[in-house]
């Protein structure tokens, strides 16, 4: 057996990332053995983190492809095994270091993840649609993005992002499924079928705590949290668990939506959270003759931004106005966000503009108190 060839195969394996953890399998202790016989036939044994790993086919494909490219290798045989508890423990140590269980990485000083809690006053204004499109848009810009569906009662994020897989669990860590390069976790992944979740406040708080602490998010640039509509327990829990989370308020132009959006936003006053801005959704419908039909009225987004700016004493910009567009709804139903499928449509362009505004924000400011005291 040529040791040089084995080193080349190992080097090739270090270019293969685990599809869920997104780190080289060589760093994760997943390569158990590498052998190459005198005819160049390579045999690689890879250890899965858990037996039912949904990614085995992809992993086998990726390993085969990488090793086949090595000069001198004539064939590749990949066999799969499963890590022992001790190996999973080591993997956990590699990934999380000495961070205590239950520690929320985003709440630690020095966390470089921008956390945006997407809030609305009432349901149906497009909060989840905005969340998933912003996530896909930011991921397409090369940022590392996660979405936490905290809309425990009305979870729709997995469908909108086309996530069908279940999270795998590795030694107390939950590996979030990935769709369109976005890591996604939702209470909907833990309930059978479409069972409605009827939980009370303390359980919601616990679920959120677990999603923030036990999910292996990796190094995220941005975490978007889709909050349930209204000013409920979850918004307060978010503020307690991740004080640096900033609110992104979604509203329609309609007066009723506007009033409740202001109330939802004003929670930031009590919790001392920053409001990053307001997104107005369903702003108008472009008609074939080029005119605009303002189905839900006009000016709601700007009015919410102005009112929140006045009540918090901070600058609250209107970050975008998203028109009504059938492709937004279709993209949600098909799990293919419109920003990816029809990037030139006016709705996708408007969402992209909001994503730009979020992407351009200085990381250095995030997580630091700006020392502003809200005006009451
Ligand atoms: P929320 O999260 O606020 O309850 P959703 O994102 O679930 O709202 O949106 C409610 C419905 O409206 C969904 O069917 C969604 O596809 C649709 N929708 C949202 N925004 C738009 C838009 N700009 N144009 C067309 N349909 C939209």
Which sign, positive or negative, has the C-alpha torsion 245, 246, 247, 248?
negative
Output the CA 207–ligand 1 centroid distance in Å.
25
Say which range, 63-67, 143-147, 180-184, 369-373, has the weakest mean pLDDT. 369-373
Break the chain into its structural domains and give their ranges. 3-96, 107-360
* Rounded Cα–Cα distance for residues 341 and 241 (Å): 35
Does the pLDDT value for residue 216 go beyond 80?
A: yes
* Rounded Cα–Cα distance for residues 355 and 134 (Å): 5
Output the CA 351–ligand 1 centroid distance in Å.
13
Give the pLDDT score at 366: 46
Dihedral (Cα; 117, 123, 125, 130), 10-degree rounding = 30
The closest of 234, 307, 261, 232 to 122, measured between CA atoms, is: 261
CB 320 within 8 A of CB 249: no
pTM here is: 0.87
CATH level 3 topology of 107-360: Rossmann fold (3.40.50)
- 286 alpha-carbon distance from chain centroid: 31
* CATH class in words for 3-96: alpha beta
Q: Tell whether ligand 1 has an atom less than 6 A from the beta carbon of residue 118.
A: no
Residue bearing the CA closest to ligand 1, atom 23: 324
Q: Averaged over 177-188, what is the pLDDT? A: 92
Give the pLDDT score at 196: 59
Does the pLDDT value for residue 74 go beyond 90?
A: yes
* Rounded Cα–Cα distance for residues 353 and 14 (Å): 37
How far, in Å, are 5, 11, 15, 76 from residue 70 at the CA level? 8, 9, 12, 10
Question: Could you tell me which residues come within 8 angstroms of residue 221 by beta carbon, excluding any fewer than 6 positions away?
Answer: 112, 113, 114, 138, 143, 144, 145, 363
Give the pLDDT score at 147: 97
pLDDT range class, residue 236, cuts 50, 70, 90 = confident
* Rounded Cα–Cα distance for residues 320 and 119 (Å): 15
Give the pLDDT score at 304: 92
Question: What are the two backbone dihedrals, phi and then psi, of residue 302, each rounded to the nearest 5 degrees?
Answer: -65, -40
Does the pLDDT value for residue 197 go beyond 70?
A: no
Does the pLDDT value for residue 365 go beyond 60?
A: no
Determine how many CB atoms are found less than 10 A away from the CB of residue 167: 22
Which sign, positive or negative, has the C-alpha torsion 327, 333, 334, 340?
positive
* Rounded Cα–Cα distance for residues 314 and 367 (Å): 17
Q: Tell whether ligand 1 has an atom less than 6 A from the beta carbon of residue 138.
A: no
Residue bearing the CA closest to ligand 1, atom 26: 329
CB 301 within 8 A of CB 278: yes
Give the pLDDT score at 374: 41
**Of 186 and 266, the one with more pLDDT:** 186
Residue bearing the CA closest to ligand 1, atom 22: 324
Q: Averaged over 58-74, what is the pLDDT? A: 95
Give the pair of three-digit tokens for residue 21: 């953890």
The closest of 242, 297, 238, 236 to 267, measured between CA atoms, is: 236
What tens digit of pLDDT does each residue of 280-338 get? 999 999 999 999 999 999 999 999 999 999 988 899 999 999 999 999 999 999 999 99
Give the pLDDT score at 33: 95
Helix (H) or strand (E) holding 184: strand 182-186
Helix (H) or strand (E) holding 330: helix 326-334
Q: Tell whether ligand 1 has an atom less than 6 A from the beta carbon of residue 129.
A: yes
CB 130 within 8 A of CB 325: no
What tens digit of pLDDT does each residue of 13-22 get? 999 999 888 8
* Rounded Cα–Cα distance for residues 93 and 174 (Å): 14
Residue bearing the CA closest to ligand 1, atom 16: 329
SS3 state at 178: strand
**Of 349 and 190, the one with more pLDDT:** 349
């Amino acid at each position: 057996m040529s040791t040089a060839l084995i080193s080349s195969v190992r080097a090739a394996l270090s270019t293969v990332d685990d599809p869920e953890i997104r780190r080289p399998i060589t760093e994760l202790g997943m390569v158990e053995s590498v052998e190459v016989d005198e005819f160049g036939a390579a045999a690689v044994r890879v250890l899965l983190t858990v037996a039912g790993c949904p990614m085995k086919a992809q992993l086998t494909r990726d390993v085969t492809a990488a090793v086949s490219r090595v000069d001198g290798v004539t064939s590749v045989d990949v066999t799969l095994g499963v890590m022992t508890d001790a190996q999973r423990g080591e993997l956990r140590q590699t990934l999380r270091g000495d961070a205590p269980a239950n520690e929320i990485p985003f709440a630690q000083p020095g966390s470089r993840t921008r956390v945006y809690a997407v809030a609305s006053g009432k349901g149906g204004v497009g909060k989840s649609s905005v969340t998933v499109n912003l996530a896909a848009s930011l991921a397409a810009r090369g940022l590392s993005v996660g979405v936490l569906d905290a809309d425990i009662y009305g979870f729709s994020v997995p469908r909108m992002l086309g996530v069908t897989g279940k999270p795998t669990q590795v030694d107390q860590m939950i590996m979030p499924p990935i769709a369109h390069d976005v890591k996604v976790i939702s209470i909907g992944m833990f309930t059978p079928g479409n069972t409605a979740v009827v939980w009370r406040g303390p359980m919601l708080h616990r679920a959120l705590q677990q999603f923030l602490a036990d999910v292996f998010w990796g190094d995220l640039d941005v975490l978007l949290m889709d909050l349930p509509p209204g000013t409920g327990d979850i918004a307060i829990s978010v503020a307690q668990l991740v004080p640096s989370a900033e609110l992104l308020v979604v509203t329609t132009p309609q007066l009723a939506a506007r009033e409740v959006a202001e109330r939802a936003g004003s929670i930031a006053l009590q919790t001392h959270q920053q409001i990053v801005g307001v997104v107005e959704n369903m702003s108008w419908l472009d008609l074939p003759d080029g005119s605009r039909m303002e189905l839900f009225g006009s000016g709601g987004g700007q009015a919410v931004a102005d009112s929140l700016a006045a009540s918090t004493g901070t600058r609250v910009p209107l970050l975008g106005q998203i028109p009504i567009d059938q492709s937004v709804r279709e993209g949600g139903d098909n799990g293919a966000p419109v920003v990816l499928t029809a990037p030139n449509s006016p709705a996708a362009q408007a969402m992209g503009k909001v994503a730009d505004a979020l992407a351009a924000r200085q990381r250095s400011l995030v997580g630091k108190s700006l020392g502003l005291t809200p005006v009451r």
